[in-house]
């Protein structure tokens, strides 16, 4: 093996790509993580100031890959969730106590997640972070993939057994391997900011459906919340441009006074939203993970959680093949990965897409029906618990990492987390 031969090359060192490297850090596979923007650059697009709601299942995965101890002190627990419809009569409340967990999930800044992942993989001798470097092209030849990259020192050709596309929504890996996509816009843009409310959130997260689109306030620190506020595309720029006072006034009007009077707001950023699903998870010796495989509306905070479950399943398939001395990029490995991920993507993508459509519609009979739906869920604990288990990433039989068990740890037969 020369310096440019790897077992796995991952294109994209964002949240998904770095998580995969961390998941395989103790597996004795040589990994090259090709990333266009260095992880410590302020322009690193995946490690910005958005608050990411981590499902309880994601905490399990981070525990299994040795990242949770680094996150615990910066991740704020979500103990209760309040869902309401502005101008409607329906509401639903969920609490971690009713399902016997200490938290329904956690919120951490994407930047803190990035730091924790880099701290985990930085010292690992089998992982090389190749940055700044961009994918220029690749071709499969026998049981190898030749990968051309544009790096700081010019063009280089690397080779690997398995190429992973973790290069986000506009994935070049996906385009070059010829995997088709299903994509639609929502005509909505998310405006995000960190805000300080007048009252402490006490572990409460709020999801409020407003006429402009969903508004989420998530507990970020004991005194502040992460705001994700959706607007029609044509209104988003003017909302971002509002001065602090006018922004807070508009927010107060949309959200109400459940958290008292808002005191402060930080810098605003906007993200145009769309839905994307790759028609295949893998082709040849190429697998997709994270936003390269699926990009979701942030309404239910599921995008990265789904991507992290891709990571857990792919890492386990690769680790299993390696232990048996098999080819880690063989069709059997990637077919198993694709088969195991199909159901979760269909359920999570479908749930998120339906929520956006149902709650972004002002057609009167539909708005009455959704309020009745919220009340039904609030009154019926079985329905509510099913919904909570799904959004927490819990229930059923699952691979090791989703149960918080390291890849080299003893496997238990019964799990809690859905793959
Ligand atoms: C407003 C908002 C709020 C969100 N909130 C939540 C939430 O609460 N919970 C949740 O689970 N999810 C949430 N998400 C989704 C979450 O942010 C994404 O799922 C996650 O960031 C995707 O990570 P990724 O690594 O797959 O892709 P990306 O973040 O897009 O990273 C891709 C990486 O690949 C690199 N790259 C791209 N092309 C190349 C190339 N050719 N060569 C080399 N490198 C390349 C990029 O520089 C980047 O670092 C939210 C999203 C938004 C927009």
Position 2 scores a pLDDT of 57
CA pseudo-torsion sign 27, 320, 33, 310 = negative
Cβ of residue 212 lying under 6 Å from some atom of ligand 1: no
pLDDT band at 214 (very low <50, low <70, confident <90, very high): confident
Q: Which atom of ligand 1 is nearest to the CA of 305?
A: 11
Q: Are 96 and 79 within 8 A, CB to CB?
A: yes
Q: Which of 23, 156, 168 to mutate to test the pocket of ligand 1 (most atoms within 8 A of CB)?
A: 168
* Distance separating alpha carbons of residues 8 and 41, to the nearest angstrom: 24
Q: Which atom of ligand 1 is nearest to the CA of 228?
A: 1
Q: Give the start-end residues of each E strand in 25-98.
A: 31-34, 51-55, 76-78, 80-85, 91-95
- Rounded to 5 degrees, what are φ and ψ at 209? -95, 120
Determine the average pLDDT of the residues in 201-205: 96
Among protein residues, the one whose CA lies closest to atom 9 of ligand 1: 301
Position 36 scores a pLDDT of 97
Position 239 scores a pLDDT of 96
Q: Which of 9, 14, 137, 173 to mutate to test the pocket of ligand 1 (most atoms within 8 A of CB)?
A: 14
Give the range among 131-140, 210-219, 359-368 with minimum mean pLDDT. 359-368
Position 77 scores a pLDDT of 96
Give the containing element (helix H, strand E) for 406.
Answer: none
Q: How far is CA 335 from the centre of its chain?
A: 23
Among protein residues, the one whose CA lies closest to atom 38 of ligand 1: 167
Q: Are 25 and 127 within 8 A, CB to CB?
A: yes
Class of domain 8-72+107-183+275-361+395-403: alpha beta
- Coil, helix or strand at residue 151: strand
Sheet holding 133-141, edge to edge: 133-141, 144-151, 154-160
Angle in degrees, CA 62, 205, 73, rounded to 5: 40
pLDDT at 127 over 50: yes
Q: Which atom of ligand 1 is nearest to the CA of 289?
A: 26
The domains of the chain are located at 8-72+107-183+275-361+395-403
Q: Are 375 and 384 within 8 A, CB to CB?
A: no
Give the range among 123-127, 190-194, 297-301 with minimum mean pLDDT. 297-301
Q: Which atom of ligand 1 is nearest to the CA of 292?
A: 26
3-state SS, 125-141, equals CCEEEECCEEEEEEEEE
At 318-346, the pLDDT tens digits run 999 999 999 999 999 999 999 999 999 99
Residue recorded with tokens 């956006």: 356
Determine the average pLDDT of the residues in 14-30: 97
Sheet holding 127-130, edge to edge: 127-130, 31-34, 8-11, 162-165, 286-288, 282-283
Position 412 scores a pLDDT of 45
Alpha-carbon distances, residue 321 vs 29, 64, 162, 344 (angstroms): 11, 19, 12, 23
Among protein residues, the one whose CA lies closest to atom 14 of ligand 1: 303
* Distance separating alpha carbons of residues 221 and 50, to the nearest angstrom: 13
* Distance separating alpha carbons of residues 137 and 160, to the nearest angstrom: 13
Determine the average pLDDT of the residues in 144-153: 95
At 54-106, the pLDDT tens digits run 999 999 999 999 999 999 999 999 999 988 876 665 677 888 888 888 899 99
Q: Which atom of ligand 1 is nearest to the CA of 306?
A: 11
Pairing of strands 162-165, 282-283: unpaired
Compute the distance from residue 381 Cα to the ligand 1 centre, in Å: 34
pLDDT at 417 over 60: no
* Distance separating alpha carbons of residues 262 and 251, to the nearest angstrom: 8
* Distance separating alpha carbons of residues 362 and 87, to the nearest angstrom: 10
Compute the distance from residue 115 Cα to the ligand 1 centre, in Å: 15
* Distance separating alpha carbons of residues 124 and 409, to the nearest angstrom: 19
Among protein residues, the one whose CA lies closest to atom 53 of ligand 1: 271
Compute the distance from residue 291 Cα to the ligand 1 centre, in Å: 6
> Chain-wide mean pLDDT for the chain?
88
Q: Are 303 and 349 within 8 A, CB to CB?
A: no
Residues 6+ apart with CB under 8 A from 42: none
Alpha-carbon distances, residue 109 vs 179, 194, 218 (angstroms): 31, 10, 11
Q: Are 312 and 66 within 8 A, CB to CB?
A: no
pLDDT band at 40 (very low <50, low <70, confident <90, very high): confident
Tokens for 40?
Answer: 């410590």
């Amino acid at each position: 093996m020369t310096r440019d031969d790897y077992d796995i090359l991952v294109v994209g060192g964002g949240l998904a790509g770095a998580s995969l490297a961390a998941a395989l850090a103790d597996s004795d596979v040589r990994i090259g993580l090709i990333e266009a923007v260095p992880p410590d650059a302020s322009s690193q697009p995946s490690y910005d100031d958005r608050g990411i709601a981590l499902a309880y299942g994601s905490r399990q995965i981070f525990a299994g890959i040795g990242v949770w101890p680094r996150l615990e002190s910066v991740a704020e627990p979500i103990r209760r969730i309040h869902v309401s419809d502005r101008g409607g009569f329906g509401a639903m409340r969920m609490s971690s106590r009713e399902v016997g967990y200490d938290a329904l999930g956690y919120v951490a800044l994407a930047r803190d997640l990035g730091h924790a992942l880099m701290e985990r993989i930085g010292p690992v001798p089998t992982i090389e972070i190749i940055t700044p470097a961009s994918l220029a092209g690749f071709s499969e030849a026998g049981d190898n993939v030749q990968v051309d990259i544009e790096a700081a020192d010019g063009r280089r050709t690397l080779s690997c057994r398995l190429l992973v596309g973790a290069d986000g929504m506009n994935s070049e890996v996906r385009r070059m391997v010829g995997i088709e996509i299903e994509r639609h816009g929502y005509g909505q843009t998310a405006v995000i900011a960190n805000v300080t409310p007048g009252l402490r959130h006490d572990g409460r997260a709020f999801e409020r459906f407003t006429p402009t689109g969903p508004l989420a306030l998530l507990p970020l620190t004991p005194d502040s919340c992460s705001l994700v506020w959706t607007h029609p595309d044509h209104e988003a720029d003017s909302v971002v441009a509002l001065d602090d006072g006018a922004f807070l006034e508009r927010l107060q009007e949309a959200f109400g006074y459940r958290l008292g009077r808002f005191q402060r707001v930080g810098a605003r950023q906007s993200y145009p939203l769309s839905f994307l699903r790759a028609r295949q998870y893998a082709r040849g010796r190429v697998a997709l993970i994270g936003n390269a495989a699926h990009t979701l509306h942030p309404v239910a905070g599921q995008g990265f959680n789904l991507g992290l479950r891709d990571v857990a399943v792919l890492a386990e398939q690769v680790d299993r093949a390696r232990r048996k001395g098999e080819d880690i990029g063989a069709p059997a490995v990637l077919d198993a990965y694709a088969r195991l991920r199909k159901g979760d993507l269909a359920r999570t993508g479908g749930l998120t897409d339906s929520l956006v459509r149902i709650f972004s519609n002002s057609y009167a009979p539909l708005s009455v029906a959704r309020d009745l739906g919220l009340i039904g869920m609030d009154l019926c604990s079985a329905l509510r618990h099913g919904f909570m288990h799904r959004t927490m990433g819990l229930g059923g039989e699952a691979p090791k990492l989703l149960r918080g068990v390291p890849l080299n740890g003893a496997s238990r037969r019964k799990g809690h987390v859905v793959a």
